[in-house]
Amino acid sequence: MSERKILLTEKEMPKAWYNIQADLPELPPPPLSPVTLQPVTPEELSAIFPPDLIAQEVSTERWIEIPEEVQEIYKIWRPSPLYRAKKLEQVLDTPAKIFFKYEGVSPAGSHKLNTSVPQAYYNKKAGIKRLATETGAGQWGIALSQACTFFGLECTVYMVKVSYNQKPYRRSLMEIFGSTVIASPSEHTAAGRRILEQDPSSPGSLGIAISEAVEDAAGRADTNYALGSVLNHVCLHQTVIGLEAKAQMAKAGYYPDVVIGCCGGGSNFAGLAFPFAYDKLVNNARVRLLAVEPISCPTLTRGKYAYDFGDVAGLAPIVQMYTLGANFMPPGIHAGGLRYHGDSPLVSLLVNKGLAEAKALGQTAIFQGATLFARCEGILPAPESAHAVQAAIEEALAAREAGESRVILFNMSGHGLLDLPSYDLFMAGKLEDYPLPEEDLQQALTMLPKV
């Protein structure tokens, strides 16, 4: 009998993060200032980020040491378990072997604590007293709130208004950890007031909330900004997932044919996939890397690879990425964490160079896959993670068709225990798919910056 759960000891935890910028065939083009349209300078970034994170953003060192203080906190939930989904394999009647890395064991319930902890640490080290951030569905807000508590920082979270009203338990958690949570768009910032003037009933978006948080941070010397995805340093911190998973797969005696992650801003996909991309880039390994996104927010599969704004007000740097346009308003699908208009420049580059693949799934399919998975393995996936689950199921079924014993590894980025209202709607047959109409996409893409 092979193992069902593959564990590492604390001693076997990674001591350094893997920086893919050391091994890429080329680096992503530089981020531009939204004011000058010239490459952003470290001085400009230092208004909102601490020096260590700015250095990591552009570093080409392959390994970046994880500070002792961060490792110590990681030990609360790391190393996270790797499971073999044996019952799911049986039910699908597939010769494929399905493994998943489970990040839902973190106190935040998702992978996001892997980066909020080092971000809070480096800000504390730089003498910062307070962090401002945005959150969509709330997972990032929770993760940053917890990390700020660990390091004695204040935290203000601009939460997309529709989620603020629909996801009260996530807001409760942030407040338990001492954060101030503000529904965005708000009257607290010029960016928020401008949106409210145009549309007093605006439901908000991640792009708007980012503008508010960046404005807040840029306006106060004691305050920095923290972002939960997209940026290079965020992808870097998440590589603990893939480094552990590689060691665990080796313990299990397997190497994956395909590595799968859901993709919103790209960080959990990057976290699992980049250490395997290393094998591809440096050792010519044949492993496939697959990023999975919603059909209603199809950034990688239908977006344009271009320089675009990271936020609605144009305060954040302009970066080269796959984008649907910064003014794109995604429909209110239940995988709130996958509704960002853009994507990590590093993940975008891998897809653009053919080093990673992307696919899009509808929400009825992903809830179906997630429910089947929960009934087999006992773990309820977050709706975001359910995209990876369903893609893994489809890979397993394709392996059955081909009579091929494919080894599948996917990232279960978080649990769905705070997403039960969405599961209720699915069970009641009330969920619909919202493929993005081509017209809306073309409209949103007319607003790209002219660089």
Ligand X SMILES: *Cc1c(COP(=O)(O)O)cnc(C)c1O
The site for ligand X (CB under 6 A) is made up of 110, 112, 139-140, 229, 262-269, 337-338, 382, 384-385, 413-414
Asked if 249 and 275 count as a contact pair (C-beta separation under 8 A), the reply is no
Q: Which is nearer to ligand X, 224 or 411 (CB)?
A: 411
Smallest gap from Cβ 265 to ligand X, in A, equals: 4
Query: Hey, is 393 helix, strand or coil?
Result: helix
Look at residues 319, 326, 344 and name the one whose alpha carbon lies nearest to residue 230: 344
Q: Which is nearer to ligand X, 31 or 266 (CB)?
A: 266
Q: Which is nearer to ligand X, 146 or 268 (CB)?
A: 268
Smallest gap from Cβ 432 to ligand X, in A, equals: 21
CA distance 46 to 350: 28
Smallest gap from Cβ 211 to ligand X, in A, equals: 19
Q: Which is nearer to ligand X, 79 or 337 (CB)?
A: 337
Q: Which is nearer to ligand X, 267 or 320 (CB)?
A: 267
Q: Which is nearer to ligand X, 303 or 337 (CB)?
A: 337
Letter string b/e over residues 399-429, b meaning 16 or more CB atoms within 10 A of that residue's CB: beeeeeebbbbbbbbbbbebbeebbeebeee
CA–CA distance from 174 to each of 148, 170, 356, 403, 423 (Å)? 11, 6, 35, 48, 23
Q: Beta 180-184 vs 154-160: how paired, if at all?
A: parallel
Q: Which tokens is 51 given?
A: 């020096």
Smallest gap from Cβ 201 to ligand X, in A, equals: 26
CA distance 37 to 76: 43
- Positive or negative, the CA dihedral 368, 369, 371, 375 is positive
Smallest gap from Cβ 229 to ligand X, in A, equals: 3
Smallest gap from Cβ 82 to ligand X, in A, equals: 17
Q: Which is nearer to ligand X, 94 or 239 (CB)?
A: 239
Residue closest to ligand X (Cβ): 414
Cβ count within 10 A of residue 114: 27
Token pair 């080409």: residue: 60
CA distance 351 to 341: 16
Q: Which is nearer to ligand X, 381 or 399 (CB)?
A: 381
Q: Which tokens is 11 given?
A: 């001693």
Smallest gap from Cβ 411 to ligand X, in A, equals: 8
Cβ count within 10 A of residue 92: 19
Smallest gap from Cβ 194 to ligand X, in A, equals: 27
In Å, how far from its chain's centre is CA 430?
27
Q: Which is nearer to ligand X, 92 or 113 (CB)?
A: 113
Q: Residue 180: what are its φ and ψ, rounded to 5°?
A: -95, 125
Smallest gap from Cβ 228 to ligand X, in A, equals: 6
The answer for residues whose C-beta is within 8 angstroms of residue 138's C-beta and 6 or more apart is 159, 163, 167, 170, 171, 173, 174, 336, 418
CA distance 340 to 293: 10
Q: Which is nearer to ligand X, 256 or 264 (CB)?
A: 264
Residue type, position 353, single letter = K
Smallest gap from Cβ 235 to ligand X, in A, equals: 8
In Å, how far from its chain's centre is CA 203?
22
